[in-house]
Chain A
Amino acid sequence: MDNTNLKARILEIVPDAQQEENKQYLTLLVPAAKLHELAVKLKTTADLSFDFLFCLSGVDYGKQLAVIYHLNSTRHKHYIVLKVKTDDRVNPNFDTVCDIWRTAEFHERETYDMFGIRFNNHPDLRRIFLDEDWKGYPLRKDYVDEVNIVEF
C-alpha cells in the first residue's frame, strides 16, 4: 500500500492524527489515548498487518517527551512511523505495546530507564541498564551529572 492510501486508512481509525514532514517514512503524530487501539488494528487488519516493530525510541524535545515507533509489514513491505508526545515531564506515561509486539518489552524498559517514561500495563517495568537506585534519567536534556559529564 502506498503512503497516500496508508494515511487515509489510518485517518479512518484515528481521525485526529497529524502528518509530520519526513522524506523517508510516512510519519504520523497520534494522540496518546488512541495509541493502543491503533496499534492493535495496525497489527491485526489484513491489508495493513504491521507485524514488525523494528525500532522504538524515546526522544526529549525540550518541552515534550515523545516515543517513536518504527513499523514495518513483512508481508506488504510498507512502513509507517508513529509518534506520541506528552507535555507531562513529571509523570509521563503511555500505554504499552508489548502485548502486540513482544520486542517492545525490552525497548520500553530502556526508554523508561533513560527518559523516565512509564508504560502502563508493562509486565516488568524496571530499569534495564542502570541501577534501581539511580537518580534521574540520563538521556533527558535537563539531566545534570557534574561528575561524569564535562562541558567544554
Chain B
Amino acid sequence: MKEIVNLPVSKPEEEEYHINMGPQHPSTHGVLRLLVSLQGEIVKNLKPHCGYIHRGIEKMCEKDTYPQIIHLTDRMDYLSSHINNHAVCLLVEKALEIEVPERVQYIRTIMDELTRIQSHQLWWASFGMDLGGLTCFFYGLRDREMILDIWEETTGSRFLQSYNCPGGVMQDIHPNFQKKVHVFLKTFKKKIKDYEKILSGNVIFEQRSKGVGMLTKEDAISYGITGPSGRGSAWSCDIRKTEPYSMYSKVHFNEVLRYECDSYSRYMVRMQEMYESMNIIEQLIDNIPAGDYAARMKAVIKLPAGEYYQRVESARGELGVYVVSDGNKTPYRMKFRTPSFTNLSVLDHLSRDMKIADLVAIGGSLDLVIPDIDR
C-alpha cells in the first residue's frame, strides 16, 4: 500500500485572521469599528477606527461665541451633557473672574450628580445587556426615565439640556423640582438593591468580568484612564476631590476606589458612585439658598487674551477644556480633552490574549460613548 503523504494542513487555530467589529455592532454602542486580529478566538491585537461621526466641533467652536459653544458640548458626551456645559461655563467664569451666586452652584452640583446617576444607569443597562442579561436594559432605562422627567420640567429638555449658561443657569428650577428629586431618591434607593441582586452577585456575571481586562495603576496613569475606569485600578483621580469646583469642596462624599483592577472592579466603582451621588444630592437638595439663578453678564462675552484650562469630572472621566483666546468673542482655538477618547486607547492593551467574548466585557466596562471619541 502506498504510504500516505503528509501534506501541510493549515490549522485554523494557528492562523491569524481579521474581523471587523462594527461600525454597526451592538456592543460598540455606536459607530465605532474595531479591526480585530484573531487566532482562533484569541484576540492578538485590535485597531480602533474612529471618525464615523466626526463633526468637527473644535473647528465649529472657532466660529461660535461662548454661549453658542455650550450647545455644541451637549453633543459630545450626550450622557453627561450637563457636566460638559458646566465645564465651558466654569472656564468662562474663571477667565472673566465672575462670582456666580450660591444658588447656581447648588443647582449645578445637583444637576451634575443627577447626570452622573442617569449615565451610570444607562451604562449598567447596556453593560448587563452586552453580557447577556436583557432584564438589565429594561430596568436601567425604566429608572432613568424619572431623572429625564425631572429635567424636562426644569430645563425643557430631556436629553440635551444646554441648561447652563455663562454666569448661571438658563432659568430657575421648577417648583416641583425638590419634591420630585426626593421621590426619585426614595424610589431609586430601593431599585438599586435590585441592580445589585441581578448583576453584582450573579455567578455568570462574575465569571465573565472577574479577572478580565486587568489594568494596573501604572498603566492607568500612563494611558490617562480617568473616571470610574481609572478608580477601578485604585488610582485616585477624581477631579471633584483633587480640584474641587462648585459645591464639591463643601459636601462630604467618598471617592470610590477599588483595588482588583479588572472589569468587575470598574463595575463596582460605578455602582458605588451612584450611592455617593445620591448622598451628595441629599446634602444639597433641601438647602438650596434663595437668590438669583444667574449672575449679570455682558451681552457680548469676550475672554481676555490668554490661555485657559478647566478640568471637570464627567460621568466617564476627566473632561478638559483648553481655550486659546485672542480677546475676541470667539475662541482662537478650543480643544476638548474627552475621557472616552483616551479611554479607548487602552482597549488594545487590555484585550490582548483575551477571548473575543471578553472584548465585549472589557469594552463595556470602559463605558465608551462614541460621539465623545469623535467630537
Contacts and interface: CB of A to CB of B under 8 A. Distances in A.
Interface string A104-128: 0111001000100000000000001
Interface residues of B, number: 34
Interface residues of A, number: 33
A25 B324 CA distance: 14
Interface string B339-374: 001101110010000000000000000000000001
Contacts of A105: 345
B333 A106 contact: no
A127 B266 CA distance: 31
Contacts of A74: 221, 235-237
A70 B309 contact: yes
B16 interface: no
B306 A70 contact: no
A68 to B, nearest CB: 8
B307 A129 contact: no
A116 B333 CA distance: 16
B18 interface: no
B58 interface: yes
Interface stretch (B49-57, B65-73, B82-90, B206-214): B49-57
A63 interface: no
Contacts of A101: 222, 224
A54 B308 contact: no
Contacts of A60: 333
A92 B309 CA distance: 25
Interface of A: 21-25, 27, 51-55, 57, 59-60, 68, 70, 74, 77, 101-103, 105-107, 110, 114, 128-131, 138-139, 149
Closest 6 pairs (CB-CB, A-B): A103-B224, A129-B51, A57-B335, A106-B345, A129-B54, A55-B337
16 contacts: A22-B306, A54-B318, A55-B322, A55-B335, A57-B322, A70-B320, A74-B235, A77-B242, A101-B222, A102-B222, A102-B223, A102-B224, A103-B345, A106-B342, A129-B54, A149-B59
Given A102-B345, A103-B342, 19 more contacts: A22-B306, A23-B306, A27-B307, A51-B221, A52-B224, A54-B337, A55-B320, A57-B322, A57-B337, A60-B333, A70-B309, A70-B322, A101-B222, A102-B219, A103-B222, A114-B58, A129-B51, A138-B56, A149-B59
